[in-house]
Chain A
Amino acid sequence: MADTAVKEVKEKKPLLGKKERKLLLDPLNDNNPITVQVLGICSALAVTSMVLPSVVISVAVVFVTAFSSLFVSLLRRKIPKQVRMIAQLVIIAFLVTVVELLLKAYNYPVYKQLSVYIGLIITNCIVMGRLEAFAMANKPWPAFLDGIGNGLGYGAILIGVSVIRELFGKGSLFAGTPIALNIIGPTSDYWINTTTNPWFSWYVNNNLMVLPVAAMFIIGVFIWVQRTFNQKLVDVS
């Protein structure tokens, strides 16, 4: 009897239980790396002026955070304390170089467009932050999910910011992709042609949106809105 009971407990431990789901979804809202932990701001300001680079960087960051968390967690008992940061950095740099080589071979135009920003994932604070805070102290599967979750939380903010910036800064969306939309602008290439449309003749693109500072304001607004709806995050003091 006791034997079977133990077995049952073991088998019933689900792959995506409540705890795992929390790991995956928490970083999207309650523990978002950008709006709550305020990590990875540098790249969020630099690459979000258009949607396409933001999407590619987000996918690359999800890949890097997930697998670096997995590898570090697998090695967490083997990594000597004194050199753990160096070991983590080697693993992160390895994964980023893999992304770079694969892009170079299979999607050269996107590689060219992102150029140095791929390499800069190595210094993205989110990756190392999660390794130090979570992967070094947890089992591989939760660490992997935590990595995916944080990558997604980062990506969601990046894409949100880039949609606003591209739309109001350039009047387009997804430029450079097959589903590029020209929404508003002064020529007939756009859906709303501001030179002929009487309702929108006042409209001009907001040049501030093109600049990195715009991302600062937008992220600020995101944080404000998030805290309005999520009272848990409001500091009571």
Chain B
Amino acid sequence: MNNRYIIVFIFLLTSVVALSLTMLRQVTEPLAKKNEELFTKKAILSAVADHLPEGKDLDVMPADTLLSFFDQQVQAVVVDASGQVVREEGGDKIQVAKVWKAPAGQRKMPVFIYENAGKNYYIFPLRGKGLWDEIWGYIALDSDLNTVVGVSFDHKAETPGLGAEIKDNPKFAKQFVGKKVFDEQGQFVSISLKKGGALPDDPHAVDGITGATLTANGVSAMLSNGLGWYLPYLKSVKKNQG
């Protein structure tokens, strides 16, 4: 077999493969896009899953209902590093993953304000690093901007059954409910994951995950960095509340 044959063979093989993959991608892309949007909006709403209207369940809600429910109940404002609201809407179009990589002063991040029964809940997107790759999530604060009402986490490549528990284990997320972000003096302390278990009455700590210490450390860092960036915004909203 001469070199020309080899080159032609590989060229043909890769062309056929590339062409068929491109076609398959073209066909599946719209479905995948919609799945992704649905997934993100569901993740945002699942941070306030305990405060949905009576009879609403995210897990059984059809895709279109969920998307229109999101549009009705959630105002996605955009804020900058000084806590100013730059835009009143369109926050759901922001690619948090990209924006978070910018220097802290230049970021324009979304805040999702969810309204239910006349009460506002503030949902903040978070980005961080796990053991293998990126992790991200949403934390929802009550209208006092201190008490956590829910979290939802996700990850790119944490190990199933270990680091991936931050997303897969509902009991992990439940621990955050009722925890406080500020201490009694009003100082920001965030919430951290404790290896070997948190003290039951500690309002700023939850149990870590066995076998996933590095992912857990990543989550702790993500919470303090992420909420830390929003501090000016939190302060300005509190001031407006009086």
A and B are partners in one complex rather than unrelated chains: yes
Please give the residue numbers on chain A whose beta carbons come within 8 Å of chain B beta carbons, in ascending order. Answer: 46-47, 49-50, 53, 75, 78-83, 86-87, 90-91, 93-94, 97-98, 101-102, 104-106, 108-109, 112-117, 165-166, 169-170, 175-176, 207, 210-212
Q: Taking A104-B35, A210-B161 as contacts, is the C-beta distance between A94 and B156 under 8 angstroms?
A: no
Query: Closest Cβ of chain B: how far from A110's Cβ, in Å?
Result: 11
- For residue B14, CB closer than 8 A to chain A, the reply is yes
Chain A proximity of B58: nearest CB distance (Å)? 12
Q: Which of B1-9, B176-184, B222-230 contacts A (4 or more CB under 8 A)?
A: B1-9
Residues of chain B at the chain A interface (Cβ within 8 Å): 1, 5-6, 9-10, 13-14, 17, 20-21, 24-25, 28, 31-32, 35-36, 38-39, 132-133, 154-157, 159-162, 164, 168, 210-211
**CB-based contact B28/A83 at 8 Å:** no
Instruction: With both chains docked as a complex, state the minimum distance between the C-beta of B144 and any C-beta of chain A, in angstroms.
Output: 29
Bound Cα distance from A201 to B127, whole angstroms: 40
* A106 → B minimal CB distance (Å): 7
Which 3 pairs from chain A and chain B are nearest by CB?
A: A49-B161, A105-B28, A108-B35
Asked if B6 and A210 make an inter-chain contact with CB atoms under 8 angstroms apart, the answer reads no
24 CB contacts below 8 A, A to B, read: A46-B159, A49-B160, A50-B160, A80-B1, A86-B10, A87-B13, A90-B10, A94-B17, A94-B21, A98-B21, A101-B24, A104-B31, A104-B32, A105-B31, A109-B39, A112-B154, A113-B164, A114-B160, A115-B155, A116-B132, A116-B156, A117-B160, A207-B211, A211-B162
Contact B32 A80 (CB under 8 A): no
* With known contacts A80-B1, A86-B10, A94-B20, A105–B32 Cβ distance under 8 A: yes
The verdict on A90 contacting B17 (CB below 8 Å), with A46-B159, A108-B39 known, is yes
Given the interface pairs A87-B9, A115-B156, A211-B211, the reply to whether A105 lies near B35 with Cβ below 8 Å is yes
Q: Report the Cα distance A108→B28, complex, angstroms.
A: 12
Residues of B with C-beta under 8 A to A46: 159-160
Q: Smallest Cβ distance from A83 to chain B, in angstroms? A: 6
Residues of A within 8 A of B164 (CB): 113
**A210 with B156, Cβ < 8 A, contacts A79-B9, A98-B21, A98-B24 known:** no
| Complex contact B31–A210 (CB within 8 A) | no
Taking a contact as CB atoms under 8 Å apart, the answer to whether A82 and B6 are in contact is yes
B157 neighbours in A (Cβ, 8 Å): 115-116
Determine whether the beta carbon of A47 is less than 8 Å from that of B20. no
> Is B28's CB under 8 angstroms from A78's CB?
no
Question: Are the C-beta atoms of B13 and A90 separated by less than 8 Å?
Answer: yes
Q: How far is the CB of A108 from chain B (nearest CB, A)?
A: 4
Q: CA–CA, A53 to B21, complex, Å?
A: 25
Contact of B168 among A81, A113, A211 (CB under 8 A): A113
Is there contact, CB below 8 Å, between B160 and A53? yes
CB nearest neighbor in A for B132: A116
A50 touches B21 (CB 8 A): no
Closest chain A CB from B122 CB (angstroms): 25
Q: What residues of A have a CB within 8 angstroms of the CB of B38 in the complex? A: 108
- Closest chain A residue to B154, Cβ basis: A112
Q: Is the CB of B160 within 8 A of A210?
A: no
5 other A-B residue contacts (CB within 8 Å) besides A90-B10, A109-B39: A80-B1, A102-B24, A115-B155, A116-B133, A207-B210
A78 to B1, CA, bound (A): 10
Q: Is the CB of B10 within 8 A of A108?
A: no
Q: Is the CB of B39 within 8 A of A101?
A: no
- Residue from B1, B13, B39, B133 whose CB has the most chain A CB atoms within 10 Å: B13
Assembled-state Cα–Cα distance A176/B38 (Å): 19
Q: With a CB–CB cut-off of 8 A, which chain B residues contact A211?
A: 162, 211
